[in-house]
Structure 1
Amino acid sequence: MDGGSGLRFGRAPGGWPVLGHFVALRQRPLEFLDSLPERGDLVEIRLGPRPAFVLCHPDLAHRVLTDFRGFDRTGPVYEKVRAAMGSGVATVPYQDHRRQRLVMQPAFRHEHLRGYVGVMRDEIAAAMDGWSEGQVVDMVEAMFRLTTTVALKSLFSARIGAREAEELRAAFDVFLRGIYTRAALPVAGRLPTPGNRRYARALIRWRGEVERLIEDYRQAGGDRGDLMSRLLAARDDEGRALTAEELSDQVAVLLLAGGETTSAAVVWALHLLQEHPEILARVHAEADTVLAGETAGWEHLGRLDLTARVVREALRLYPPAWVVVRTAVRQTRLAGHTLAPGSMVLFSPYILHRRADFHPEPHRFDPDRSLSGAGGAGHRGSYLPFGGGATKCLGEEFGVAEATLVVASIAARWRLSALSGGGVSASARVVLTPKAFPVRLSDRSARPRATAAV
């Protein structure tokens, strides 16, 4: 079966000897991805000596993400990822994924969200209480620190202290900076560089601390109402619990989803609001009306309509999971081109979200586009910031809720003035995040309310 009748196949020019297009993906990832759709709906690039095929049409993305017999999470890239992150729900092949997802899904039921939101509110308030008038803050670093702390506290509740949380967060940051390079260019991880040595030390520190925390939970027993308690109690349809190794592997996945991806969504949303003062004024007005000076919490979440749309539009323009890998497990045809077994296929929500035939004026930041029904939000495969099919991210509701609460709480209390002239560049790592976004803080609560939203 050919996925996508009438779709075009093409090849990207400009690959380097030996390295292929790895340099472009490393140094100018968004510019490179933007250039691919003009080459075709399925575009061949090279990562080192290996070819890879980039999906540039939502029909192809839907096909690959839902055809588990034809495409799976196998191959050299996933071997590298699993060697670092373990065999968690986001990294295992489909055969193992189904069991893990069934076991984990109850921990993400809607009725548990209120408790997680309580953790979010406490940590958001604590972070902002540490800010002051005129202070310069890199929001990339600050939001990563905040959201990984929320993820850790949601996982481990009272069992993790501030020092332990900071050590785990720091180790995880080193890990995230290194894993993208190792996945895209495996030879890089074998070089005896200072960065590789830091990566190895951070990975050992990370795994040891996570295993200790899980063992403490097992020994203490009881239900603390957090994610780890629910994961320890979870059973599959044959009554089997997650093993100690599986639990440890899930922590890395949950921190990646709950920490890195959420912080990226928040920073991109804040950056976009800085570039669109008329929309920022509306967000300020909503925050003033709904929050009335409080940190956003459960009782406010359902009324932060505009802020939630801002987050979802930021996820369209800058989806955190910007490139997702699948491997063809049998010979197949896509866009009229035959893929051999073992071929690497790259699904990029960033490309799909910026197609003008599915999202009118795709580069324009418009949180209201979903209200008008314009664009391709209803087309399968055209809006996939959390993936699709049976492997769609379990933490979507958690992540959108947290990002909405963070953006609203900051808007209610602080005005941000970008120090870099407003421009930011993307960092090539597992998650699409700005390299830096330094801002100067101005306390809105110290100003007359009449001028707060302008």
Structure 2
Amino acid sequence: MSPTSAPRHGRAPGAWPLLGHLPHLATRPLAFLDSLPGHGDVVRVRMGARTAHVVTHPALVRRVLTDRSSFDRSGILYEKVRALLGNGLATCPNAEHRDQRRVLRPAFRPALMERYADVMTAETEALTARWRPGAVVDVTEEAFRLTTAVAVRTLFSAGIAPRAAEELREALEVLLRGVYTRVVAPAVDRVPSPDRRRYRRALARWRTGVAAIIAAYRASGTDHGDALSLLLAVRDERGRALSDAALGDQVATLVLAGAETTSSVLAWALRLLADHPEAAARLHEELDTALSGGPVTRADLPRLPYTGDVVREALRLYPPAWAITRTVTRATELAGRTLPPGSIVICCLYLLHRRRELFPDPARFDPGRWAAGDVPRDAWLPFGLGATRCVGEAFGTVEATLALAAIASRWRLTPVSPRPPRPVPRLVLSPGPQPMRLTER
């Protein structure tokens, strides 16, 4: 069907009594999502007692993400995410977003990207220096370790104790695994269990750790030239500084944007290359030609177009922000059906990026498709759209490309098992554990 055809409404089959489609979302989310386009462009999915409308049509996705008067970042789904991240830029309602974006924008100005890129290169070198030929590493865990280290160093360049940094990373890992469950099944927090206790301990460690870092920065009175120093210097229209709570919320947003999303892209890219030797050979040829054998720097990126295309293709197939939710704030027509206020709408970018009329052979990993430059408008939205488009887009793209180039120029990674990855349900589309054997090139 052409993307200009009239969108169709549909209903997902296979709902369980009381639970709806939650078992499918919890155990095999991608297989369930892949089945939805056969039932329409807007498909009703039951999440326990609630109904969500999954949108995949490009025109409707654009409308939902840009019509801020009809679709807001509110409702029970955002409440659960705010319990983890606080009311920062990634989670605040539309009414607060403009002011919060103004607060964070200075941390991503182009003048700082060179400094950030140096940190990315240094941390990638430090990570891979611990690798040994023949060893087996969990690529997903290693990617998360890398991007968390980068996020911590760019946020807190004054440095924090290694143990404190590791505690933050461990807490974040538990929280990111647990928050997805709480989004799709909010009742889980009302049932005493080891998982609930583990989640609450991690949340307390995260908040305590971030509060201690903020307090130390305030006490020092020193401008370290990093993201946290910029946030401490922000003043509102009345000359007031951000409160500790507001700072903590923004720090959580920056760590999530700088760690979880980018690590997912990098882990998927490494796995896709391992499964497609022809693409890996082309990437290695580009790296061997463009690089002089030293560490990859930001200045090398213009000479690495295919490396960038590998990242773009990984973002297409497995966008970290695979499902962007909105709540209807007033009676709104969508694909010929009126949705009442309070309705949950999910823009599924994972399915948008796999529509056949937008991308030929959409399930195939083909970085070469980007060289033609004929991707339709609104067909590729891994960073969102409109006023809420990700403020850290350039940061994440540069980090993923530099890390991929640095790793692939020195190492060949071979999956220990030929079985395809089984994605782990969490806020981003993570590939789950991926043990891979290292071979030095």
* TM over 0.5, shorter chain: yes
Post-superposition offset of 1:295: 2.3
1:289-308 to structure 2, matched below 5 A, reads: 289-308=289-308
Asked if 1:417 corresponds to 2:422, the answer is no
Post-superposition offset of 1:238: 5.5
Whether contact under 8 Å (2:298, 2:398) holds in the other structure is no
Asked if 1:368 corresponds to 2:368, the answer is yes
Amino acid in the other structure paired with 1:394: V
Give CA-to-partner distance per residue, 1:140-168, whole Å, 9 cap, x none. Answer: 11111111111011100133122111110
**Alignment match, 1:202:** 202
**Alignment match, 1:448:** none
Q: Between 17-26 and 366-375, report the one with greater CA deviation.
A: 366-375
Q: Report SS of the residue matched to 2:143.
A: helix
CA distance in 1, matches of 2:255, 2:438: 28
Give CA-to-partner distance per residue, 1:71-100, whole Å, 9 cap, x none. Answer: 001111111111221001000101111100
**Alignment match, 2:260:** 260
CA distance in 1, matches of 2:287, 2:164: 33
CA distance in 1, matches of 2:419, 2:302: 31
Post-superposition offset of 1:188: 1.0
CA distance in 2, matches of 1:138, 1:110: 33
Q: Report SS of the residue matched to 2:413.
A: strand
Amino acid in the other structure paired with 1:416: L
1:180-259 to structure 2, matched below 5 A, reads: 180-236=180-236, 239-259=239-259
CA distance in 2, matches of 1:41, 1:241: 45
Asked if 1:154 corresponds to 2:151, the answer is no
TM score, norm. by length of structure 1: 0.94
Whether contact under 8 Å (2:322, 2:348) holds in the other structure is yes
Amino acid in the other structure paired with 2:25: L
Asked if 1:385 corresponds to 2:368, the answer is no
Give CA-to-partner distance per residue, 1:372-424, whole Å, 9 cap, x none. Answer: 13442xx12x2110111100111110001000011111111111111111521
**Alignment match, 1:45:** 45
CA distance in 2, matches of 1:143, 1:56: 29
**Alignment match, 1:127:** 127
**Alignment match, 2:329:** 329
CA distance in 1, matches of 2:52, 2:247: 32
Q: Percent identical across equivalent pairs? A: 53
Whether contact under 8 Å (1:87, 1:246) holds in the other structure is yes
**Alignment match, 1:452:** none
CA distance in 1, matches of 2:239, 2:24: 48
Give CA-to-partner distance per residue, 1:335-371, whole Å, 9 cap, x none. Answer: 1111110001111110100001111111111112122
Asked if 1:407 corresponds to 2:404, the answer is yes
Unpaired stretches in structure 1, ≥5 consecutive residues? 445-454
Whether contact under 8 Å (1:88, 1:253) holds in the other structure is yes
Whether contact under 8 Å (1:104, 1:234) holds in the other structure is no
Whether contact under 8 Å (1:270, 1:407) holds in the other structure is yes
Amino acid in the other structure paired with 1:403: A
CA distance in 1, matches of 2:289, 2:197: 50
**Alignment match, 1:449:** none
CA distance in 1, matches of 2:412, 2:225: 35
CA distance in 2, matches of 1:240, 1:30: 46
1:135-154 to structure 2, matched below 5 A, reads: 135-154=135-154
Q: Report SS of the residue matched to 2:43.
A: strand
Whether contact under 8 Å (1:360, 1:374) holds in the other structure is no
Whether contact under 8 Å (1:9, 1:40) holds in the other structure is yes
Runs of 4+ in 1 over 4 A off after TM superposition: 236-240
Q: Between 226-235 and 121-130, report the one with greater CA deviation.
A: 226-235
Aligned alpha-carbon RMSD (Å): 1.3
Post-superposition offset of 1:222: 2.4
CA distance in 2, matches of 1:430, 1:158: 29
Which residue of 408, 416, 424 maps to 1:427? Answer: 424
CA distance in 2, matches of 1:17, 1:27: 17
Amino acid in the other structure paired with 1:441: L
Whether contact under 8 Å (1:271, 1:422) holds in the other structure is no
Whether contact under 8 Å (2:176, 2:426) holds in the other structure is yes
Amino acid in the other structure paired with 1:181: T
Amino acid in the other structure paired with 1:24: H
**Alignment match, 1:103:** 103
Whether contact under 8 Å (2:273, 2:279) holds in the other structure is yes
Q: Report SS of the residue matched to 1:302.
A: helix
Post-superposition offset of 1:111: 1.4
Give CA-to-partner distance per residue, 1:296-332, whole Å, 9 cap, x none. Answer: 1222223221111100110000001111111001111
